[in-house]
Amino acid sequence: MISKEKLNILISEEDMKKRIGEVAAQINRDYAGKNLLVVGILKGAILFYADLVRLLDMDVQFDFMTISSYGNATDSTGEVKIRKDLDTSIVGRDVLIVEDIVDTGLTLKNLKEVLSTRKPASLKICTMLDKPSRRRVEIRPDYCCFEIPDRFVIGCGLDYAQWGRQFKDIWYVRPEFIDTL
């Protein structure tokens, strides 16, 4: 557990709600009249996913994946290990991947390549947070709530050792405490 004395708010709950509404409005325009399959990446994206899909004004189907690319390391290897696969075929479907954060991009690039082989009609990415300063491969989310600096963040589904996911705001660990985690 990290004490809140080591944290500062990066994005408030109010700003998060407003921006999710704006992104949902764009998705509603882009997919008007379509049946969208919204794929949440567990566990981190679950709170963002729930907030987003409740604002979509179209027929949507839900599905989820659990993927791992970190193994025992602190940096992504980029090799996607699917721990829970889709329950739904995506052949010919419009698919929106909902992710909590795009960091190095390795995991998401690999996942997009895997899902593309399943022949969806379209495959786009929506992320709550994007950290392009850490990008190691060329990948850009189609929808993004916030671009953030290179900070360790928790809240709104993001965690440190399973702690902090439930926070309503996005918090970052103050630089002077990052080595104490």
Mean pLDDT rounded to a whole number for the chain = 92
Q: Which residues are catalytic?
A: 103
Model pLDDT, residue 180: 78
Name the token pair of 60: 């949507």
pLDDT over 50 (residue 6): yes
pLDDT for residue 66: 93
* Segments making up each domain of the chain, as ranges: 14-148
Residue 77, pLDDT > 70, answer: no
155-176: average pLDDT: 92
Give the strands of the sheet with 153-154, arranged side by side. Answer: 7-11, 170-173, 153-154
Question: Angle 46-53/13-30 helices, nearest 10 degrees?
Answer: 60
Q: Are the C-beta atoms of 64 and 99 separated by less than 8 Å?
A: no
- Give me the pLDDT at residue 80, please: 72
pLDDT score recorded for residue 72 = 44
User: Does the predicted model carry a pTM greater than 0.95?
Assistant: no
Most confident of 2-6, 29-33, 79-83, 175-179: 29-33
Could you give the C-alpha distances from 90 to 2, 62, 95, 99, 149, in angstroms and in order? 40, 12, 7, 18, 34
Do the Cβ atoms of 53 and 38 come closer than 8 Å?
A: yes
Q: How far apart are CA 49 and CA 126, in angstroms?
A: 9
Query: Per-residue pLDDT for 90 more than 90?
Result: yes
Which residues are CB-neighbours of 168 under 8 A, at least 6 positions away?
A: 13, 16, 155, 156
Q: For 14-148, which CATH class?
A: alpha beta
